Amino acid sequence: MTGAYAALESRFKRLGLVNEAVAMLNWDTAAMMPEGAAGARAEQLAELKVIAHELLADPRLADLLDGAASDGLDDWQLANLNEMRRLWLHATAVPADLVAAYSRACSECEMAWRKARPANDFASIRPLLQRVLDLTREVAAAKASKLGVSPYEALLDQFEPGGRITEIDQLFDHLAARLPALIEGALTVQAEQPAPRRPAGPFPVESQRHAARRLMDRLGFEFDHGRLDQSLHPFCGGTPDDVRITTRYDEADFARALMGVLHETGHALYERGLPAAWRRQPVGEARGMSIHESQSLLVEMQVCRSREFIEFAAPILRVCFDGNGPEWSADNLYRLGTRVARSLIRVDADEVTYPAHVILRYRLERALIADELELVDLPEAWSEGMERLLAVTPPDDRQGCLQDIHWYDGAWGYFPTYTLGAMTAAQLFDAAKRAVPGIPAAIAHGDFAPLLAWLRANVHGLGSRFSAREILVRATGKPLDAAVFEHHLRARYLAA
Which are the contacts of 207, defined by CB distance < 8 A and separation ≥ 6?
Answer: 254, 320, 321
Positive or negative torsion for Cα 429, 433, 436, 439: positive
Count of other CB atoms within 10 angstroms of residue 441:
11
The overall longest dimension of the chain from CA atoms, in Å, is 70
User: What whole-number distance in Å separates Cα of residue 381 and Cα of residue 387?
Assistant: 10
Active site residue 293: no
Closest to 404 (Cα-Cα) out of 346, 343, 349:
346
Which are the contacts of 49, defined by CB distance < 8 A and separation ≥ 6?
Answer: 22, 99, 100, 103
Question: Mapped to the 3 state alphabet, what secondary structure does 175-190 carry?
Answer: HHHHHHHHHHHHHHHH
Report strand pairing: 242-247 vs 226-230.
Answer: parallel
CA quadruple 344, 349, 350, 352: dihedral, nearest 10: 60
Closest to 495 (Cα-Cα) out of 66, 180, 149, 188:
188
CA-CA distances (angstroms) from residue 140 to 3, 157, 241? 34, 10, 32
CA-CA distances (angstroms) from residue 289 to 35, 156, 295, 334? 30, 10, 10, 29
User: What whole-number distance in Å separates Cα of residue 332 and Cα of residue 193?
Assistant: 12
CA-CA distances (angstroms) from residue 319 to 35, 205, 463? 37, 15, 38
Phi, psi values for residue 244, rounded to 5°: -115, 120
Task: Read off the DSSP letter of residue 229.
Answer: E
Q: Is the peptide bond before 282 cis (omega within 30 degrees of 0)?
A: no
List residues bridging with 230 in a β-sheet. 247
Tally of CA atoms within 13 A in the half-sphere of 371 that contains its CB: 8
- Contact (CB, 8 A) for 475 and 431: yes
Count of other CB atoms within 10 angstroms of residue 127:
11
User: What whole-number distance in Å separates Cα of residue 418 and Cα of residue 427?
Assistant: 14
Q: Which of 110, 264, 271, 308 is catalytic?
A: 264
Length of the chain (residues)? 496
Q: Which residues are catalytic?
A: 264
